[in-house]
Amino acid sequence: MELRVVCFLIGMLLIQGSDQQSAPRKKPQIKKASDVLSNAAVEELQKQINDIVAEMNLLKEKQALQTVCLRGKKIHRKCFLAEPQQKSYHMASEDCIAKGGTLSAPLSGLENEQLTQYVRESLGTDTQVWLGFNDMLSEGVWVDMTGSAVPYKNWEASSRSPQPDGGTSENCAILSTSSEGKWSDESCRLERASICEFKIV
């Protein structure tokens, strides 16, 4: 009898042991950050992360602009970058937009001078480039790429036919280095070199 009892007890112990081994181990419970931190603290952290991401994007933008400025020319609050390949006005404009800029649009006599100088240096002394001005929508009403009125104009006035003189067949503006940076109207379908400008934030 005693032996049977001992065997029974050993058997029970073995079964218990094997049960313990096969039982799934409890995973250590990791508390979520939200369990530990208050909602306000989580919101504050989220805000800080958002701020860092925004700052990083701004830095990336500035870095990209600096790269453009290094390749092109930096003037006050703008960088110019020459595109020697001749394209129609629309193609040139779209390509500038794809790079994050717009067709160059000088806003003052000084800017026009700096742009003309850059065109001479980068594309030659007898070059015409598209400007970001056109009168497509309303003949004679010259606007920039945002549709705003052009604040500064530098039309060629000393030639036999003062510019603009093309009427509805010439609705896009060009700048010529051969005429000291003066502007003319031109058919938008013609192919010309261009300068993209990038605003520095």
Which amino acid, 176?
A: S
Percent composition of the chain: helix, strand, coil (DSSP 3-state, to 5): 45, 20, 35
Q: Is 186 an interacting residue with respect to Ca ion (CB under 5 A)?
A: no
Given a contact cutoff of 8 angstroms between Cβ atoms, the answer to whether 131 and 173 are in contact is yes
Q: How far is the CB of 139 from Ca ion (least distance, A)?
A: 5
Q: How far is the CB of 81 from Ca ion (least distance, A)?
A: 27
Q: How far is the CB of 107 from Ca ion (least distance, A)?
A: 21
- Cα angle 97, 130, 148; round to 5: 65
Q: Is 111 an interacting residue with respect to Ca ion (CB under 5 A)?
A: no
The span from the CA of 35 to the CA of 41, in Å, is 11
Which contiguous run of DSSP H or E holds residue 114? helix 109-123
Q: How many residues bind Ca ion (CB under 5 A)?
A: 2
Among 83, 111, 135, 186, binds Ca ion (CB under 5 A): 135
Q: Which is nearer to Ca ion, 133 or 198 (CB)?
A: 133
DSSP 8-state symbol, 18: H
Q: How far is the CB of 187 from Ca ion (least distance, A)?
A: 10
Q: Which is nearer to Ca ion, 114 or 171 (CB)?
A: 171
Given a contact cutoff of 8 angstroms between Cβ atoms, the answer to whether 96 and 85 are in contact is no
Q: Which is nearer to Ca ion, 112 or 163 (CB)?
A: 163
Q: Is 134 an interacting residue with respect to Ca ion (CB under 5 A)?
A: no
Q: In the complex, which residues of this chain contact Ca ion (CB under 5 A)?
A: 135, 171
